[in-house]
Structure 1
Amino acid sequence: MAGVRMCDRVSLRVRVSEYEDCSSRGRVESLKMISVEVPSHPLTGSNVELYCNYDLEKDTLYSVKWYRNEEEFYRYVPGDSSPIEAFSQPGVSVYRAMSDQRKVTLKSISLESSGKYRCEVSADFPSFHTVNDDDEMLVVDMPDGDPSITGGRPKYHVGDQVNVNCTSMRSRPAASLEWYINGEKAESDKLVQYTPVNDSDGLETSRLGLRFTARPQHFPAGQLSLKCTATIAAVYHLFTEESVEGQLLQTGPALESKGVYAGASSISLPHTWVPCLLTFLAQTIHLLIQL
């Protein structure tokens, strides 16, 4: 650096060092968002807790705000005389006594409580820095009872058509159904898909059909096992299973027959007639001899 005296160079290095140190402190000590924790599949009627995890570092907190589907429902401002403020929203009822700058508790949630929840944190003077993060919540209404299997028979023979349905009644969201044949998941070409039926209260009934022709391999140990499972995310998994008797022979045994020669023609008669015919012929010959 031509023309710069040694003392100027030292002064310049000191000023640069001080600037880098301030910049470093600014990056480390500013407000950071760590995570937002929202239950993914809570059940209707339950209370849920929403967590906003942040690190102020050297900043001072100005406010924490919560939004559901971009509509504000909760605000915490520590500098106000009443720090907590809640705003009415369908499906969102804040439990104020169990809420603060880090956590919000919602009371008795419903299907309307589903949505995207976002937490926004703002720092006070001098940085006024703002950070936010969000997470999804899908409220679950459990099905009315276990899945049911209909259309089955007490016994199947090789060649019979198996035609059954599995139904899971009234839930939200609709239960996901699967069929199993003797413990093995049924192939897609054996399934009959149905659109879920929507009720007036928003609940859905799901149904899945199973169609196939019974083969010898379907009757290990003389039994056919059919199982249907119903699943909703990680909160609901139930199944119904039925075992029915299997018959490897075709329906109805084939009749045996035996040919009887009479003159120039051959008559095919059931073997059960032969003893009667022989008895009749013997009695006729006996009468002819007596005459």
Structure 2
Amino acid sequence: MAETLVDIVKRHTDAQGGEGFHATPIKGFALLRANRRQQHPTHLVSQPVLCVVVQGAKCSVFGSRRYDYRAGQALVVSVDKMPGLSRVTRASPSEPYLCIVLEFDPAGMREMLESMPTPPALAGGAQRGIFVTDFAGPATECVWRMARLLDTPEAIPVLAPMLRRELYYWLLAGPHGGEIAHVVLGTGHTQRMMKALHALCDQFREPMRIDDLAAIAQLSPSAFHRQFKALTAMTPLQYQKQLRLLEARHLMMAGVANAESAAYRVGYESPSQFSREYARMFGAPPRRDVVALSAAVA
């Protein structure tokens, strides 16, 4: 009897030490495992990815929206550099949380879209950059075959690109194909919104001017604010603030800055304001949070 996805992911994560995030020889194809529910969320900045839950359950929060997803479902993040948090909600040593993470390649998806005889109808209105979808049928079979390739490394360079291309077809042909095409491929006004979002991301340390970002998106400031929130589930100011605080945390964890210097390096003018907002986001002041994190990974 052929192995299930649960069997394959469990076997390969066992071979790599069990829990944690495990890269594989297939570019942009990783395995994630947790043997217990998480008591505290993990803060992250997500790239465009497809997170297919093989066993267990998880919740992720981006801005004001919470996404719960379980085995047989997938989280689709189609916006670059999305700050958020996630927490494993169902896992045990006997039935660990297992997930396959596939990075999107916008160029490859664009090529597939252009070659489809019947491309997906583009969704109208303000676009969501994140959603949960049921994951079954041909797309699941495609992911299963990609996972099986891990047992034949010599076949990966030849077959993995073909399977990735096939997966893009099933995603674009599926019920959320129009949304994926809009955001990942950057079509119409969504492309301009993505340019404005990337400008904000690249310059998150600088004072933000909504008028400048709205001009990039070719929208009025009020329309830009509304569409940015629809896309990311947060306001431009909230997005900038989360990027600043996550970068400051990274600098302190790396030992290259203390709380005060990290605050200035990410764009804060007031260390006290930085400390307040940091504690609000991470649950503890900077120094205490970094000490706790360092102890947890030691």
- Structure with higher Rg: it is 1
Question: Which one has the bigger helix percentage?
Answer: 2
TM-score higher than 0.5 here? no
Q: TM-score, normalised by structure 2?
A: 0.20
